[in-house]
Amino acid sequence: MQIGCHVSISGSVDKAVDNATEPLSYRRVADLLVEIKNSGLVESRTISKGRGGYGTEYKLKISPDMVGPQVNEKWWNELVSNKKAHEADVKYRKSLSDLSSSSGYKLLRKSLDRHSEENWNKKLGLDI
């Protein structure tokens, strides 16, 4: 299983690091990401976010299954479990679309889709 998502630094680091550890500064996290990039484990690209300025996205070159448990096994297992639940939810909602085509149903499905996506982003620590 692979976990594919964009995760904000603040959301994922807070969940992956134990509470007893001293939090890292933004500059230190950026330095660590550059070191990881230079080691060849990740690739990066700078993107424009419009009025939000520019940002750098990082993507693992290796399977997340190899890295996740090394970061924090409890966090990784929870993330995998949440992803499985999310995928099952998406599959269930898609199967419901075959049942009806009424406008009331479409409104309900949109609401369910939005709620599911918000829950998934909340579990990942994304503030979208």
pLDDT band of residue 19 (cuts 50, 70, 90) is low
Residue 22 and residue 9: Cα distance in Å, rounded? 15
Q: Where are the beta strands (DSSP E) in 10-110?
A: 42-48, 54-60
Q: pLDDT at position 103, please?
A: 62
Instruction: Summarize pLDDT for 25-57 with one digit per residue, the tens.
Output: 999 999 999 999 999 999 999 999 899 899 889
Instruction: Summarize pLDDT for 57-113 with one digit per residue, the tens.
Output: 999 999 988 888 988 999 899 989 988 888 888 887 777 665 655 666 677 777 777
**Residues 83, 77: contact at Cβ < 8 Å?**
no
Place of tokens 């330095």: 31
Place of tokens 């998502």: 5
Q: pLDDT at position 9, please?
A: 52
Q: Is residue 3 classed as helix, strand or coil in its secondary structure?
A: coil
